Amino acid sequence: MAKFNPQAAMELQQLVSEYWDELDSNQARNVTNFYLEDCTFAAGQNYSAQGRAGVRKFYDERAKVVAQEKEGRLTRHTFANFKVKFASDNQARVDFVMINYSGSGAAPIVFSGPSMVSDITFECRRDAQGEWKIAAFKGQPMFVTNEPFAEKFLAKARSLA
């Protein structure tokens, strides 16, 4: 195992922050820019894909479900328990807990708690330009609300596999 690198750890934390901001503020339009071309993507036990096209398919399907929300959809993704382990200067594993808050309509939305809490792993590598990218995404929902959107999208995600 490589020595812990605080600078690289901050770069990886920034990657994670910008990734979730892409989903919240840009509806995942540019999400594939965070991935290496030969990436793997696994969302729960029911959806896995190879390459950026598989990532794009997942978020396009999510966008279709969001588009059915007449009042729009507001989301915020947060993360906690951020841990980095370096395999080398150019390869690292990032583990964290992602907490998603979402609801139909505009802010402020009244709700009783997070929409989903997931264990997430990003296997990251530096690309040819030295930028950290996601080589493998693994997300495993641990807690999911019974809110209609979550139920509808999770059911749809099962059918994407």
Angle between helices 148-160 and 51-67 (to 10 degrees): 150
pTM for this prediction: 0.91
CA 157/CA 161 separation, integer angstroms: 7
Q: What is the pLDDT of residue 154?
A: 58
Smallest CA-to-CA distance from 2 within 121, 126, 136, 139 is with 126
Burial 89-122 (b: 16+ CB within 10 A, else e): eeebbbebebbbbbbbeeeeeeeeebbbbbebbb
160 confidence band (pLDDT: 50, 70, 90): very low
